[in-house]
Amino acid sequence: MEESDRYKVLPVEGYTPGIGVVVRMMDLVRSRTLRAVEGLTTEQIDYLHDTESNSIGALLAHMAAVEVVHSIRSFEDRAPTADEWERLKTPLGLGEAARREIRGKLLEYYLDELTAVRERTKAQLRTKDDAWLLEERDYVDGQRANNYYIWFHVPEDETNHRGQISWLRKRLSA
């Protein structure tokens, strides 16, 4: 994407048009997430604002886990297995377990995970077409979701937590 296209939503090449627009929105959201955490140290990533707060690292791990669980629903049309839930439950659930377990890592650890998950997502999306966006999957609350919703929601949830990351970053004591 050219610098002059920074404020343009255009279908990304290599995908069908509707999927290309979704990918563009995901890329835009990600670029802002990366800017929001640029240069943070491990101490800053682990900062807990209060006893109920999530760290920036936990929020980054959450973003990757949300994309993994939605990928399983969308691309494999199934619920996560018990093993997958076990691996995902802490970053998905955040809170006390995440405060205890998700810490001590460099920023690159979280960014590498986000990038690896996103590359797998994009590889899958390149094999789909716009009609696939309307296919439905079992989702939460006994409801059905279509693939369009799933890939709208992944960057939506990321944006929601990026707002919290920006808030926390302004209050880092370090």
Contact set for a second copy, span 142-171 (CB under 8 A):
143-146, 148-149, 152-153, 156, 159-164, 166-167, 170-171
Q: CA separation (Å) from 37 to 12, 16, 43, 80, 155? A: 25, 31, 13, 29, 16
Does position 174 interact with a second copy (CB under 8 A)? The reply is no
Question: Helix, strand, or coil here: 1?
Answer: coil
Structure tokens at 143: 């409801």
Does residue 131 interact with a second copy by CB under 8 A? no
Q: Which stretch binds a second copy (CB under 8 A): 80-88, 98-106, 109-117, 131-139?
A: 131-139
Using CA atoms, how far residue 7 sits from 10, 46, 169, in Å, is 10, 32, 25
- From the number of C-beta atoms within 10 Å of its C-beta (0-12, 13-18, 19+), residue 154 rates as buried
Residue 34 in the binding site for a second copy (CB under 8 A): no
* 80 backbone φψ class: left, alpha, beta (φ>0; ψ -120 to 50): beta
From the centroid of its chain, how far is CA 102? 16
* Region 104-123 residues binding a second copy, contact defined as CB under 8 A: none
Least CB distance to a second copy at residue 155 (A): 8
Residue 152: CB minimum distance to a second copy, A: 5
100 binds a second copy (CB under 8 A): no
Closest approach of Cβ 83 to a second copy, in Å? 25
| Sites of contact with a second copy (CB under 8 A) | 4, 6-10, 21, 25, 28-29, 50, 52, 133-134, 136, 139-140, 143-146, 148-149, 152-153, 156, 159-164, 166-167, 170-171
